[in-house]
Chain A
Amino acid sequence: MLLFGVDEMLGQDGLPSESQQASVDECASTNKLVCSLLKAPRGSSAIISGILAEPDTEARLLRLGFAPGRTITVLTTGARCLVLLAGATVALDSLLAAQVSISLLP
């Protein structure tokens, strides 16, 4: 389920560019139901719907508990994302966050 091209979302250094940041704001304001973790509004809860990464990266995310169907709470997004996942706080950079697709909970 490819929702976004990762390259389109990130600058060359793997950090969100200004346009991407604007996109994050847009996502937060329109409250889309499905988006990448990078675009999730701060403080929102969501269900992980998929991982759109290379097999190695996918395995890393899965090992740390980013399994489809799990609920997360977004503490902050941007250059670094902090999420509450299964009772643990996990930090990931924007490159990985862009590869986790989520369904926002109302």
Chain B
Amino acid sequence: MNGSLPIIDEFDLPRVGGQVSVPCVMLVGQPNCGKTSLYNRLSGLKGHTANFAGTTVEIAEAFISLKSGKCQLIDLPGIYSLSDGSPEEEITNRVLIGKQPGVPAADMLLVVIDATRLQHQLALAGELRRLELPTVIVLNMLDEVQKRQIQLKIDVLAEELSAPVFAVSTRTGQGMDDLLRYLDKAVLTADTTPKVPALSEGLARCNACRGCPVTAQCSWADDISSRVQTTTAPPPEWLVKADLLLTGTFWGFLTFLVTMSLLFVVVFSVAAYPMEWIDDAFALLAGLIEPAIPGSLWKSFLLDGLLASVGGILVFVPQIFLLFFGINLLEESGYLSRAVVASDRTMRRFGLPGQAFIPMLSAHACAIPAILSTRYIKSFRDRLRTILILPFLSCSARLPVYLMVSTLLFGDSSILAALVLASGYIVGLIAALMFSVLLGRTVVRGVPDSLLIELPPLRKPSLLSALKSASHRSFQFIKRAGGVILVISMILWGASSLPLEDSPSGSLTDSTGFKSSYLAQAGRFAEPIFKPLGFDWQITVGVLSSFAAREAVVSSLSMMASSQESMESEEGLIGPLRNMTRDDGTVLFTVPTALSLLVFFVLALQCFPTQVVTYRETGSLRWPALQFLIMGGIAWLASFAVYHGAKLFL
């Protein structure tokens, strides 16, 4: 037995009134106690994770088969107490008293404690025991306990908590067999001692000044800990030195910057391969389908619409998976908490918490995984503010636009072109930070929560947990955002491809058809809005088409610039763009117009997938709408100022 159990299908289980009627075992513990590692040990890589209804708090559940029968295993979020101080605590509290809709009542609790931080974690165990539910205490990190020569009197702890105690290492599997044997026997019979008179008596004694329940629990925990843990075990000196270095404002922030930059370089260079494979697979599929489909409408629908949209969603998955895998490894290692401390002071100056630094870096690749990664920020207000500013940061989809404009403007000077490119990133960053300050004084008022965080010991991370979490996030992206993105992409395909009768070939790739499409008509209709920015109807069409994906502006403009023009080389792309003219015959891309277009794309949010993810993560249409309008407004005003300013000087 290696500590994992066979997983069974939920649909095979007996049900009473539609609910699965098998015993339910819940894992509870403080953050970073190894609770999820135990869940993974018991459930393997299967089971699934979902949000509690109407919240972003996650629950992981699996149905496992013990020798004596089947049971449901639920991994509750890590908490410090049962008070309603955070969404996690509030929901855990409701689950444990059986008042959370859709979640069965607990038949048994597995209270997980990091044995190297026994004193700190005992207070929660005491609080949980007062619920008088059948309980098993799991002392995790046995391997570290032995390594640090910490002496534990497990029988004393079992007596004090009136519950069986098992010392295990979820990392090495040590002690797991004994725990499983006990669970096998106890789950169906609930063979534990629910009454805890000794504990209640102890908790009633408070030797501190306040007499409040939390103080009493801490006092009780200190007392029990001193009797259970006979040797004191301060953190190793190297760990203290590492903490001081990694949390420092200068060295800590520098280390964080280097670590995250390396992570992103690795993530995005490695992700490029599977992304290319996905592209190739869809191209191959398109090649196979094309000869078999008669009729231009169906062909265009399947190839330019459906396949392109599905491919456009799946192509994000490698980046999302690898990014979360990396972030999970850093979190599991204990480093991320230290990085939060290091960056907190800098971020706070702009009204953001330290945790916001991670999604802000990530947003330079793509805002979608960045928005998903804000889930590491506990406070909803801080998380919301971070989500709202992320689209200002220049994602990789903006790069083709920056390259197009910089080459249009300064194709002969690589230094000036590079400066234009860099200015796009700098303006985006400044706008994001200023917007955060503005939000803090207007719609998302308040300052970030003061920094208060436990630093878990630095440890070798669990690859299994990181893999599982990354898989979950990737699946969640496909499930939650994919459907909406697909629908929007199809609408945009329809708008840019129809009506077919105006196009000789009926294909989107035909510039004549594109120029007479509904999207082009919309461009002409919306032209007055963008005319003050120096845009004509053609650039307006480019702006509208970029709502599916920002880089689409380049292909739309190219399509209009040259009928059947090769876009394989940069020269083939830029040449026709330079020669584009307005309806009155004047050159379209003058310096003021090109600069105005650049500023507009740096600041505007014309990315529907990002807005869909914002909606899904905030649970309200208000925030993506606000984000769209404010970013659009700022972009319009800035472009207007740049266009007319440049016209004065150039």
Contacts and interface: CB of A to CB of B under 8 A. Distances in A.
Nearest to B241: A75
B29 to A, nearest CB: 14
Interface stretch (B132-140, B446-454, B541-549, B606-614): B446-454
B450 A84 contact: no
B452 A92 contact: yes
Interface in A69-106: 69-70, 73, 75-76, 79-80, 82, 84-93, 95-96
Given A14-B450, A96-B451, A87 B81 contact: no
Contacts of A69: 207-209, 215, 218-219
A67 B119 CA distance: 13
A59 B234 CA distance: 26
A18 to B, nearest CB: 16
A58 to B, nearest CB: 9
Nearest to A47: B208
| Interface size bracket, B side | 35 or more
B345 A57 contact: no
Given A62-B214, A86-B222, A76 B451 contact: no
A85 B123 CA distance: 13
A64 B344 CA distance: 19
B235 to A, nearest CB: 6
Contacts of B443: none
Interface string A31-53: 00000000000000000011000
Given A75-B244, A79-B249, A90-B453, A64 B207 contact: no
Contacts of B207: 69
B123 A65 contact: yes
Contact of A90 (B119, B210, B221, B455): B455
B593 interface: no
B68 interface: no
A95 B344 CA distance: 13
A80 B222 contact: no
Interface in B419-450: 447, 449-450
Nearest to B206: A69
A64 B118 CA distance: 14
B54 to A, nearest CB: 23
Contacts of A67: 208, 210, 214-215, 218-219
A9 B83 CA distance: 30
A62 B212 CA distance: 10
B240 interface: yes
B119 A89 contact: no
Interface in B330-353: 337-338, 341, 344-345, 348-349
A90 B452 contact: yes
A8 interface: no
A37 to B, nearest CB: 12
Contacts of B341: 80, 91
Nearest to A85: B120
A86 B338 CA distance: 19
A62 to B, nearest CB: 4
A87 B116 contact: yes
Given A68-B208, A80-B341, A75 B243 contact: yes
Interface in B297-316: none
B130 interface: no
B218 A86 contact: yes
B222 A70 contact: yes
B121 to A, nearest CB: 8
Nearest to B218: A67
B243 A87 contact: no
Interface of A: 13-15, 49-50, 57, 59-65, 67-70, 73, 75-76, 79-80, 82, 84-93, 95-96
User: When A and B form their complex, which 8 residue pairs have the shortest distance between CB atoms, in order from nearest?
Assistant: A67-B218, A69-B208, A88-B120, A93-B451, A86-B120, A86-B119, A89-B455, A62-B214
Given A85-B120, A87-B225, 6 more contacts: A14-B450, A68-B215, A69-B207, A69-B219, A89-B455, A92-B451
7 contacts: A67-B218, A69-B219, A76-B244, A82-B455, A87-B234, A88-B454, A92-B450
